[in-house]
Amino acid sequence: MQKNQHTLKKAYYFEGKGLHTGTYAHMKVMPAPADYGIKFVRTDLKSHPEIEALAENVSNTARSTTISRNEAVAVTIEHIMSALTGLGVDNAIIELDNIEVPILDGSARLYIEAITKDGLKNQGVPRKFIDVPQTVEIKDERTGSWVKIEPASGPSADLTVDFGSHVLGVQSAHWDPTVDYASEIGICRTFCFFHEIEYLFRNNLIKGGDVDNAIVVVEKPVTPEQIGTVARLFNRPDIDITSEGYLNNLQLHFPDECGRHKLLDLMGDLRLAGGYLNAHISAYKPGHSINTKAAKALRALLKDLTK
């Protein structure tokens, strides 16, 4: 594990539609000074307001993580936050000229490919690890979900996802510094269930979704008419269902890719605690809401201990 702070060696440019808003954005991820952390800058707004990537700035967790400060909002930040965390980036400026981060291929792959080609810049300043003084656990009694952050000498994470799905089954994923984030976690794409798609469209939640940036799980029986509707929504007349229970828009990187993607999200959301955690993270049925609540609870605990 890196002991010094690192930033990017140069700026990287990304562009595309946001998954939920459908707005087209240009994003520039740039080096930042030591001890800067990660901040989003809305370059399309007057005075270019900044939003610190911290849990207290989370303002919405419906299907993604949104942070905001006054009029400035940044939607679906979890994949770029996960990429920076998994690659070991302490400090970065993220300029965004619209409301939502581009979804790209639904994973962190394009960030990883761009940044790893050049490597990182060692800033010669010790990394400020966050030591967890006591266990922090957040539970959702309604869903049975929980996230636990326990003191440890280094970082690791384990999670289990269970959607009650005969297609997905129960999936588990693990990360620690011996696991290559780039090839094992970061390339895993977001997913949704076929029966959710029409609802999500009607509620303006996946305006930028298409069959190139999401795994679609076909959990329930569907009619040819329903398949036709989705084919028209995505302008893909060749859509069909595989024998494994997925749309045939893409091939899985791993049998448990959906579980690994939830770990990708968890790592991005928990970076909102403000840095790298010396902690063991365990989670059951995690999601953006409970992930960010855990990060916020940890920040509150640490603040209380410094009073």
Q: Mind telling me the catalytic residues?
A: 288
Q: Which pair of structure tokens corresponds to residue 86?
A: 């998994």
Of 135, 82, 165, 112, nearest to 294 (Cα)?
Answer: 135
Of 167, 160, 164, 155, nearest to 145 (Cα)?
Answer: 160
With 0-12 CB in 10 A as exposed, 13-18 as middle and 19+ as buried, what is 5? Answer: buried
Kindly state the DSSP code that residue 105 receives in the 8-state scheme. T
Residues with Cβ within 8 Å of residue 70, at least 6 apart in sequence: 49
169: left (phi over 0), alpha (psi -120 to 50) or beta: left
Q: Which pair of structure tokens corresponds to residue 98?
A: 């619209």
Q: Are 39 and 52 in contact (CB under 8 A)?
A: yes
